[in-house]
Amino acid sequence: MKRLLFLLLIFSLLISCTYPVEPPVESPIDCNGHYRVYFREWSQCSCPSCEVYEKGTYWINRENGRMFLLGEPTINPIEVYGVCPDNYLEVWER
């Protein structure tokens, strides 16, 4: 009986030490997109109520139009962020 309890204890410890592996989170950046660089604050319309975006380098997905702020404005974003960026600071829906 003591052996059985000992085996159950060992078995329960082994089970409790396993951690589920979470799948990697996919980047919402679609590589079918393009860079857009703004050297000053900008807006998509001229109304005072329109959202004003900060200056910076943006990646824009072609399929869904989502915008990703990557960082400071750069002359050649491909040299800085690559052909398809893999990191971003903020996301905006267009």
Chain segment 53-87, per-residue pLDDT in tens = 899 999 999 988 899 999 999 999 999 999 999 89
Q: Report the distance separating Cα 72 and Cα 89, nearest Å.
A: 10
Q: Read off the pLDDT band of 15 (50, 70, 90).
A: low
Going from N- to C-terminal start, the domains of the chain cover 2-92
Please identify which residue in the block is written with the tokens 């974003």: 77
CA angle 94, 78, 71 (to 5 degrees): 55
Query: What does the pLDDT read at residue 58?
Result: 94
Query: How many of the other CB atoms lie within 10 Å of CB of 56?
Result: 20
Q: What is the pLDDT of residues 18-55, one digit of tens each?
A: 445 554 556 788 899 999 999 999 888 878 788 888 99
Which of 60, 51, 57, 50 lies closest to 72 in space, CA to CA? 57
